[in-house]
Structures are given as structure tokens and as C-alpha cells.
Amino acid sequence: MIFSFDLLFEAVLFGVLLGCFYAAVSIGLSVSFGLLDVPHVAHPALMIFGSYCAYVVAGWGLDPILAGVVLMPAFFVLGVLIYRFYYETFERRGSDAGVRGLAFFFGLAFIIEVGLILGFGVDQRTVQAPYIGSSWVIGDYRIPYRMLVAFGVALVLTFCLSIYLSKTFTGRAIKAVAQDEPALRLMGANPVRIKQWAFGIATGVSALAGAMVIIVGPVEPAMDRLYIGRTFCVVVLAGLGSMTGTLAAGLILGISESIVLMMAGASWAPAVAFGLLLVVLGIRPQGLFGR
């Protein structure tokens, strides 16, 4: 392996873009798991489902990003329904909710994955767009346009969600319900409706995230397994409940993965997210900015 600063710089650059992408796909989990404490291991599966939906909608002639945006309301509703079901079946009954909730989402992830295999087959799917396939060339470096697009969408998404959570009434209520549910109840707000709204938002965001996944690269049904590592790594590294931490954590993961990819090749890259996750859990489980 020939080490050169040029290669390293390019890897870091790519890692920054990749990192923002990872942050964006993890934001939904930041809300559903980080704030709402739902053991949502099916989040990546829903996101990949979103990728396939974007693939179908983009196949009707729409730009993939637009496809993602168009899907957001439907996914919002899906999220509300899922949370409602989860709450009524598990959280309400209290006892054993932890094990059964985890088992439920695990089963759900598998059902989604197999559903996608039955519907689309195991082959990879891609989308077409003017910005996919070409790169921006600056000097000796090539930056793929699709990564810039994902980077841009990621920033916008993170920014919008952060503003929403800190400036709007419902947004602040969502953060409040994470910190002090009894107090919220005393103020007259209904925590369940707030949580279900938040979960809906998290799932809606996943639709757009899924569109970005298929823009950044081809998708296949089993990809959700890999993304369990990436999204949970970002959310845990950030610290549960921290939105801005998600960006920082995403960058750390993206750059690490990119450097490992450059130095050791694609057969080692999948382990980076999982490895980083284990390190965080072992050394500092509350993450960088956790509550």
C-alpha cells in the first residue's frame, strides 16, 4: 500500500461527504430511539423500503430526491401507525415490554427485508439522474456529484429538523417528552400524541434518507443489516437525544470508514461502523453529547 497525502486528503474529503450522508440517514433514529426510547432496530429496514419506494416513483419519471420528498407524507402516516401499534401492544402493558418490543422490531425488519426480496428480487437496483455518474473535478481530486447532492440534502435536513425541534412548540414538546414526561402531562399535553407525531416525523425523514441511499449507491434488500451498524453507531456516538451530535458523529464515522476503505479495502469497511459502535459502548456509552 502506497501512502500518500493526496490519497489521504481525498479519503478525508470523501469521508466528510459520506459522514454527512450517514448523519442524515441516522437522524430518524436519533429521534425515534435517541429521544423517544423506542428500540427501533427496524429503522434501517424502513429506510431501505423507502429506497425501493423512491426507486419505483423515480421510475415514473420523477427526480429521485423529489421522489423521496413526495414519499415523506405517506411514510409519516406509516410511522404514526407503527408507533401507535407499538405503544398499545407493548409500552402500555409495561412488563416485559423491553424484550418483546425488541423482538417485535427485529421481526418487522425481517418481514420488510423478505418482502423486498419477494417484490424486487435480490439484485441491486439503482436510479438515474443527471448528477449520478459524473464528478466535480478540482485539481487532482474528483468529487462525485451524487455525494455532493447527498451532502447538501443532509445539511438541509439536519438544519430543518434542528430548527423544528428547538423553535416550534411541537418540536420543543418532543424534546420535553424525552426529558420529563410527567411534567409534560401536568402541562396538559398528551405525551402519546406527541411521541406518535415524533415517530411519524422520524419515519417521514427516513423516506428522504432512503432516496439518498439509492442516489449514493445501488441498493439491495439485505442492506438494512449493514445500516443497523451505521445508524446505531452514529446515534450512540452522538449521545442519545443530541441532534447536533448526530452531525459530528456522522463525520467521525464517515471519515473513519473512508480511510479504512482506502487503506484496507472494501472487505474491511463494513466492520468500521460496528467496531466504532463497540468502542463507544465500551468506553463512553453516553456518547459525545449524551444526556
Nearer to another protein, 176 or 271 (CB): 271
Least CB distance to another protein at residue 211 (A)? 25
154 HSE (CA, 13 A, CB side): 30
Task: Report which of 229, 225, 245 is spatially closest to residue 278, judged by C-alpha positions.
Answer: 229
Q: Which residues contact 82 (CB under 8 A, 6 or more apart)?
A: 199, 203
Least CB distance to another protein at residue 43 (A)? 12
C-alpha 28/C-alpha 156 separation (Å) is 14
Nearer to another protein, 57 or 231 (CB): 231
Nearer to another protein, 120 or 145 (CB): 120
Q: Give exposure, 66-101, as e/b (b: 16+ Cβ within 10 Å).
A: ebbbbbbeebbebbbebbbebbeebeeeeeebeeeb
Nearer to another protein, 63 or 113 (CB): 113
C-alpha 5/C-alpha 195 separation (Å) is 47
Least CB distance to another protein at residue 240 (A)? 10
Q: Which residues contact 8 (CB under 8 A, 6 or more apart)?
A: 259, 262
Nearer to another protein, 4 or 267 (CB): 267
Least CB distance to another protein at residue 242 (A)? 11
Binding residues for another protein, per CB under 8 A? 33, 39, 41, 89, 95-96, 98-100, 102-104, 106-108, 110-111, 113-115, 117-118, 225-226, 228-229, 232, 236, 267-268, 270-271, 274-275, 277-278, 281-282, 285, 291
Least CB distance to another protein at residue 118 (A)? 6
**Alpha-carbon Rg of the chain, whole angstroms?**
19
